[in-house]
Structure 1
Amino acid sequence: MDLRLTFNEVASEYDRMRPLYVEELFEDVIKYTDLDSSKNALEIGIGTGQATSPFLKTGCRVTAIELGSKMAAFTKEKFSEFENFDVINDDFESIILENNSYDLIYSASAFQWITPEIGYPKVYQLLKSGGVFAKFSHSLYQEEEFAAVAAAMDKVYDKYRNDFYTDPRISLDKVHEGYKRVLISMNPPTPHNKERCLEHANWIKEFGFSDVVYKCYHQTLIYDSESYVSLISTYCDQIALPESVRIQFAKEIKEAIDSNGGKFGLSDTIDLYLAIKS
């Protein structure tokens, strides 16, 4: 199985457990793009639609691209009440769409799977003049008060580090080299770094966008052991573990949380980039 399709196998759990985005972010994007029923939007990698409803409610036409067939079917049903919604089960890098057609193109925690040298120029071509690309994602890091829990879980990760991505049924061949290096490094999460994000905003300009605006938002997420294990079971590295290893890994993560107070908290900084096509 293509690693990019692992999420496809856990669509319902993904929809239930993945953190949502703050309302302020959607308000800012909608205001910035003056989105209404006269506009066309394209969502890249809709997943199960954590970022879709606010845009649909503006009345704009939303076309979503989703690689996973089960996730595409899930979102088609989820948003079936909206006549202004359509989902295409395809790969964004290879799909042929009409250039200069969209007022807004957005991607929520999915664009890292797209090869930058393909993705950014393609987005630029698909946008109308004056159109906006909105890219946003979660940056999760432990809350300081849960350092003891994080240390206990780190020991579990260290124990199983060599088991991640070893299931022969999972292939990383279609993951672009830049993101593959990030995945297989298995480095622990690092605190949010605004300076690095500002550098990234400047880098996006190199693909022809006339201006890039960067904003960030914050929320705190608190989990009990069961819900946290359910959350990480939707991560590609856990899904890619052989089943017997995955079950034991989840058991030990749950024990690490339960033996250190039974709760774990994540600091969630959401980064938003707004890039304009001149």
Structure 2
Amino acid sequence: KRNKFKDYNNFHIVNGDFGLYDYGDKKFDLVYSAATIQWIPEPIAFSKSFELLKSGGYLAMMTLHGDYKTPNETLYTELQEVYSTYFKPETQYTQRLIYRNALNYGFVDFQEYKFQSERTYNAESYIEYLGTHCDHIVLQEPYRTNFYNGIRAAILKHHDKINFCDTITLYLTKKP
């Protein structure tokens, strides 16, 4: 990714722990999170973002809610059975960020925008996509192999296709 943006001298990618990384005295126009800020405890997520922004800077947070039940209810039911049987992560995801709470940390002008889109995967590309989810990455054996095999078999049974009706939400708030 760094090479893609190498011609932009004011664009920086930091690979590090958001809460612990030392940004020095740098201030930014934008802090952007695509479905990651909800993994950070609220006081750290919002306080650190506020601290890093210049006055008038924005915190932009995006979430994706993928509905695969509506376009394929039978497949949805079969996948839920696979989840029920084999999805046993050692650590459950319990973090629930309330995005509007950014206002409690000094932010103003909270806005919410919703966008609709559609996605389609075949079995292999869907399994690759699932492999990017934190709670799926940590699945241990004997569940891991059985889980992914079950997902694959269900999608193959349904013409090797799973469709999503997505709602993408952008939460935007500003540092005064």
Task: Report deviation, 1:143.
Answer: 4.6
1:131 corresponds in structure 2 to 57
RMSD: 2.5
The separation in 2 between residues aligned to 1:261 and 1:254, in whole angstroms, is 11
Task: Report deviation, 1:95.
Answer: 1.7
Residue 217 in 1 paired to residue 142 in 2?
A: no
The separation in 2 between residues aligned to 1:245 and 1:202, in whole angstroms, is 36
2:94 corresponds in structure 1 to 181
Which string of whole-angstrom CA distances, capped at 9 and with x for unpartnered residues, describes residues 167-200 of structure 1? xxxxx5xxxxxx84259xxxxxxxxxxxxx9xx4
1:204 corresponds in structure 2 to 102
The separation in 2 between residues aligned to 1:262 and 1:126, in whole angstroms, is 45
1:154 corresponds in structure 2 to 80
Worse overlay, 84-93 or 140-149: 84-93
How many residues were matched structurally? 175
Answer whether contact 1:104 1:132 (CA < 8 A) is retained. yes
The separation in 2 between residues aligned to 1:145 and 1:128, in whole angstroms, is 44
1:118 corresponds in structure 2 to 44
1:247 corresponds in structure 2 to 145
Which string of whole-angstrom CA distances, capped at 9 and with x for unpartnered residues, describes residues 61-105 of structure 1? xxxxxxxxxxxxxx33x5364342433332110122245721111
**What TM-score results when the alignment is normalised by the length of structure 2?**
0.86
CA shift in 2, pair 1:274/1:100, >3 Å: farther
Answer whether contact 2:119 2:164 (CA < 8 A) is retained. yes
Answer whether contact 2:69 2:76 (CA < 8 A) is retained. no
Whichever structure has more helix as a proportion of its residues is 1
Answer whether contact 2:114 2:168 (CA < 8 A) is retained. yes
Q: Which runs of 5+ in 1 are unaligned?
A: 1-74, 166-171, 173-178, 184-196
The separation in 1 between residues aligned to 2:45 and 2:95, in whole angstroms, is 18
